[in-house]
Structure 1
């Protein structure tokens, strides 16, 4: 099986930098790199899934629903994007990029113009690789990123608070 090489941490930081002026896209790229979400997951998030505050969290709904802590920089990007505008609970969290394929297309255009050969999927892979390289237990990475368990261990065996360490690692590597 042919696999794509993981992009460098510098490429990840550059992806954040080139989207900083586009608040919606920066929020989406922050969720891909600093939370490790796929574009499809990002596009399915609603405002009700976001819990800002001192310990910001996202609830990812679906067959493997989970609530995870979010790196401070990703929380800041979402806070800047959402601002004080009124929202409704079922409104898409990243409103302008919620249609299938929009995140990939808009980010792809920005990356190409900047000479960066990185996709949104590359950012998710970089987040996973960064967490594993930092020594986070594989079971914790599988639970946080909703990856298939390598050894069949049920996710219920992951202790409470595992997500704080994952968020800390991503913040320390890619946060502002």
Structure 2
């Protein structure tokens, strides 16, 4: 099966070093070739909800989806990386969100920064990027708290997760890639 490609798009001004640090783990753990977009999207003021003081991730994802259609390299997946604090209506916040159908995801550094810098922050961002891409390619949440596909509710949950899938999720990933 041909390898999937992912367009990584900075949204606002996330640190370039963190965006670039996603390429290797996405290839190693999900078999996805990630390419960093040469152009960033501006800060997502259009997605800001003044009542919540956060950014609606679905609005950002809609904007990212247009990049897939316009992509000359024909990337099959797209993921935005932002510093904005994200939400979906039914949750107080999200670290990220992925829509398997539209092949679009967004990842926020905002809450991953809580009590983290340097290597800890880089690892959190990598774990959550692998998690979101796992959803994009068809994996569901996992009950194993060490699996990358476990649903985290706090940054400390992410710190306990592995960078890759557990055996059950790895087998499912292999089945999906056939």
TM range (shorter): under 0.3
Normalized per residue, the structure richer in strand is 2
Q: Of Structure 1 and Structure 2, which has the larger fraction of its residues in helix?
A: 1
User: What is the TM-score with the length of structure 2 in the denominator?
Assistant: 0.26
What TM-score, normalized by structure 1, do the two folds share? 0.27
